Structure 1
Amino acid sequence: MRSTRPSEQALFHLLLINEVLVHTKSEPLKYKKIMNSPPPNSKNLEDIFDSSVNLEETHFNEGFRDGFNDGLAPGKQEGREVGLKLGFEIGEELGFYRGCIDMWNAAILMDSHGRFSSRVQKNIKQMEELIEKYPILNPENENVQEMMDGLRLKFRAISASLSMKLEYDGYPKSSEVNRMEF
């Protein structure tokens, strides 16, 4: 036999109909309020499932925050170490080029036979200007890599013009560039 006891949903609808019939048309706001409110003693279904639907996203965001916070201090330390290492390497290379320029300029001053052509002297002067323009105190300059590449190219051109096999040891040779692994 079927139960004659009405469900909560049915009771809610009966109360709603009763409210509509009892009140006059001058209270439409109350009617809208009742129609839009959830049934008594029931939970909003959206609130129930929101936490389980967004569970993966919640865990992902929580893990990201934890990982970010845990990696912040070691990341700064590692960045500082890498920056010091690269800064030292660049300074060493610039010093090597500066030393070569100083030696070439000294040789030009003592050259009585004209072994240094005007073209080579011009290239040495241009390389000296490139070194002087290199932004040692402004590491955020976007042209730093292009300037260093220009210095390396100018150095190779001068070395070739002087028929010298002179290379900076800290920079990979052109034959080794293709074999580099990261």
Structure 2
Amino acid sequence: MSDFDLEDLVHVEQTFYESGHADGFAHGRIHGLIEGRALGREKGFEMWEELGFYEGAALMWQAIYAKDGKDTDRAMHHARHLLDLIGRFPRTNPSADDGIDISALLRQIRSRYKALCASLGVRASLRVATADDGAEAEAEAQGLNESPARKAQKGVWKVDGAPAPPQGLSF
């Protein structure tokens, strides 16, 4: 009878609660790491997809302006600064000690892209590609679902040439 402690019986509910909490905390930590890595991978891909779009647009406009000999234009200034900001974006996961504010840098990049588009006179847009876009593009390439109105709507011009005059309009 000397091994029985009445105090343990009084706190039995708290003991079970603390044991369950410790087990749940350890289990949650494991699942939190797994979920955090998956979410980080997804958001990181989205971020780099956006940055790749901005970089491609800046490089394209730089090439167009270099071919035309307009290296001192305001748009070229914005394109160079946009490429510089993208170059400063970290390629690896920075630690808290690095002092890099990724969200502030991404806001600066977006702002510089908008300034570039404004100086060029083009609409600043970023459209995310979907799986349906590939099937639709394939069908259009084969001429399966392209209406005459859709064909007339296409206004794409080659980078190395001037845009063709619109069909059916006279000024």
- TM-score normalised to the size of structure 1? 0.58
Question: Equivalences for 1:95-106 in 2 at 5 Å?
Answer: 95-106=52-63
Tell me, in whole angstroms, the C-alpha distance in 1 between the residues paired with 2:20 and 2:82: 51
Stretches of structure 2 lacking an aligned partner (at least 5 in a row): 129-171
> What's the counterpart of residue 115 of structure 2?
157
The CA deviation at 1:168 is 1.7
The CA deviation at 1:103 is 0.3
Stretches of structure 1 lacking an aligned partner (at least 5 in a row): 1-41, 171-182
Q: State the SS of the aligned residue for 2:31.
A: helix
Q: 1:75 aligns with which of 32, 46, 52?
A: 32
Residue 110 of structure 1 aligns to which amino acid in structure 2? K
- Return closer, same or farther for 1:162/1:90 CA change in 2, 3 Å cut-off: same
Aligned length: 125
Larger Rg: 1
Q: 1:144 aligns with which of 102, 126, 133?
A: 102
The CA deviation at 1:57 is 4.2
The CA deviation at 1:148 is 0.7
Tell me, in whole angstroms, the C-alpha distance in 2 between the residues paired with 1:87 and 1:102: 22
Residue 28 of structure 2 aligns to which amino acid in structure 1? G
The CA deviation at 1:74 is 2.4
- Return closer, same or farther for 1:56/1:118 CA change in 2, 3 Å cut-off: farther
Identity of aligned residues (%): 33
The alignment status of 1:108 with 2:86, answered yes or no, reads no
- TM-score normalised to the size of structure 2? 0.61
Tell me, in whole angstroms, the C-alpha distance in 2 between the residues paired with 1:51 and 1:159: 73
> What's the counterpart of residue 7 of structure 1?
none
